[in-house]
Structure 1
Amino acid sequence: MTTTINDKYLHALSLTSDWLTVSEWACKVADVYPDLLVAADAQAAKQKNDTTGLREIAARLSSRISSGGFGSQIEVDASERPKKVRFLTPTEQQQHEAEEVEEDLAPLRRIDIIKRDSEQLGVAEQYRIDEFEAISRQLKVYFGLDFEVDHAAALLNAKTPGKHHPDNLQLLLKAHNGKKHANNWPRFSFAEQKQYIEAAITLQTLVASRMSVEVETKVQASLLSRLEAVYGS
């Protein structure tokens, strides 16, 4: 059976269960297959631009990751820079594929739950939800902050799913909401919610000029007052 270059790349990655950056993966390839490094060094020497064999291997790995050349045999974490990868065993591949299907279907499940629960809401409760959503959008417009309306008890929590109801809503920064995912977190009291938003605005104000973001601090009190009016206990 012929061993392809892809097979060698994947074999080198499979020797560790850790997440590796592309550069670390390239070093691993060079350690396991020194002949590949020798060949890459020779090719790099012929190029006009300043490069090395190790950088050439890393570039090839990066290109194959971007084009899907490793298929489902690796998992990529692009949440940070530089991105990291890890090898997936056949069992892990099946589990990973099942999780991806579940994640792809999750938005549709959330829509169905929200539609079902919304039918039970009164006018005042729907107004409160609308205000949460409006305030979230306005925090983006006036402060450049990506707040999302979060269900403290997650709608898709496997054990104790929450309801789409204003008493279950809070505002979280997108990064924090992504970490929360389908977990249940204790809902902020309004005092905690206010402190959380004010802290985010304070941090944003410190770097606003460097990020070319215009911060409108005059509307802060108004938005927080509106939020308090609909927040509930």
Structure 2
Amino acid sequence: MNITEKYLETIKSTSEWLTISEWAVKVGEQYPDLLAKAEIEACNQANDTTGVREIAARISSAISRGAYVNDLDIDASERPRKVRYATAEEIKQHEAEEVEDDVAPLRRDEIIKRDLACLTTQESYRITELETLAKLLKQFFSLDFEVDHAQALLNNHAHGKHHPDNLQLLLKIHNGKKNSNNWQRFTIDEQLDYIRVAVRLQGIIASRLSVEMVGEVLESLLERLKKVY
């Protein structure tokens, strides 16, 4: 078994996502001889490095060369990127899911376009007002609110509609976690409380963000929200 194969053998022992650094640590634990050799080579380097860092660099290089193209799932959406071992069938399935994710925005836009054509003027106004309020919360409180479909448009079991009665305001981080899941839509009181809590937490670091928290502005926006929610 060559070194590249030993590296792969190490990651096969876990189903978890690992950073390259975490993978390198596991290599050192499973193959102490490789770590000892890498430590010696690290000592001969001009730059300050360690055996584990040397192993991590070699794993990273092997991935870039395509050495594990049929053996790894790679999540490059964050830094540092993460990897995990996967069978050829699993990789094929994940590739199909990625294709579906890539075309999802087009499906979503088509649904919205279809539903908009069926709205009354009042319903269209309510949606426009919700979108405006999300932008104003960002402008005045530096909070990334998004207009979310409580019953997701792309949910596979019970998809929702682009209609004001299906919309709510969520922080971007929460909307991302929700993804295509269906949630019970906030009641108006829950929606108001959610926004107030988010603004209150933002107030703790507002001075560091150079954000002026004006209560009168918030209450004015919430009064507008009550009228269209």
State the TM-score, normalized to the length of structure 1. 0.87
Name the residue aligned to 1:153. Answer: 151
Equivalent in the alignment of 1:214: 211
Q: Which amino acid aligns with 1:173?
A: L
**Structure 2 residue 38 is matched with structure 1 residue 37:** no
Is the 2:203–2:213 Cα contact (8 Å) retained in structure 1?
Answer: no
| Equivalent in 197, 200, 203 of residue 198 of structure 2 | 200
Counterpart position of 1:22: 20
> Structure 1 residues 88, 196: CA separation in 2 closer, same or farther (over 3 Å shift)?
same
Structure 1 residues 4 and 63, CA gap change in structure 2 (3 angstroms): closer
The one of 176, 180, 183 aligned to 1:182? 180
Q: Deviations over 1:154-207 (max 9, x none)?
A: 000111100000000001111111111111100000100000000000111101
Structure 1 residues not aligned, in runs of 5+: none
Q: Which residue of 2 aligns with 1:225?
A: 223
Equivalent residues of 2:19, 2:80 under 8 A apart: yes
Please list every run of 5 or more consecutive structure 2 residues that lacks an aligned counterpart in the other structure.
Answer: none
Shift in Å at residue 76 of structure 1?
4.3
Q: Distance in 1 between matches of 2:142 and 2:70?
A: 36
Matched letter for residue 142 of structure 1: F
| Residue 103 (structure 2) aligns with | 105
1:93 paired residue number: 91
Q: Kindly indicate whether residue 124 of structure 2 is the aligned counterpart of residue 121 of structure 1.
A: no
Moved more, 121-130 or 15-24: 15-24
Q: Distance in 2 between matches of 1:176 and 1:67?
A: 37
Q: CA deviation at 1:27?
A: 1.7
Residue of structure 2 in register with 1:135 after alignment: 133
Superposed displacement of residue 57, structure 1:
1.6
SS in 1 for 2:45: coil
Per the alignment, in what secondary structure is the counterpart of residue 191 of structure 1?
A: helix
Gap change, CA 1:171 and 1:70, over 3 Å in 2: farther
Conserved in 2, the CA contact under 8 Å of 1:144 and 1:213? no
Q: Percent identity?
A: 57
Shift of 1:94: 1.4
Alignment TM-score, normalising by the size of structure 2:
0.88
Does the aligned pair in 2 maintain the 1:12–1:29 contact within 8 Å? yes
CA distance in 2 between partners of 1:141 and 1:86 (Å): 40
TM-superposition CA deviations, 1:118-177 (whole Å, max 9, x none): 000111111111111111111111111111110000000111100000000001111111
Aligned residues: 228
CA distance in 1, matches of 2:66, 2:139: 36
RMSD across aligned C-alpha pairs, in angstroms? Answer: 2.4
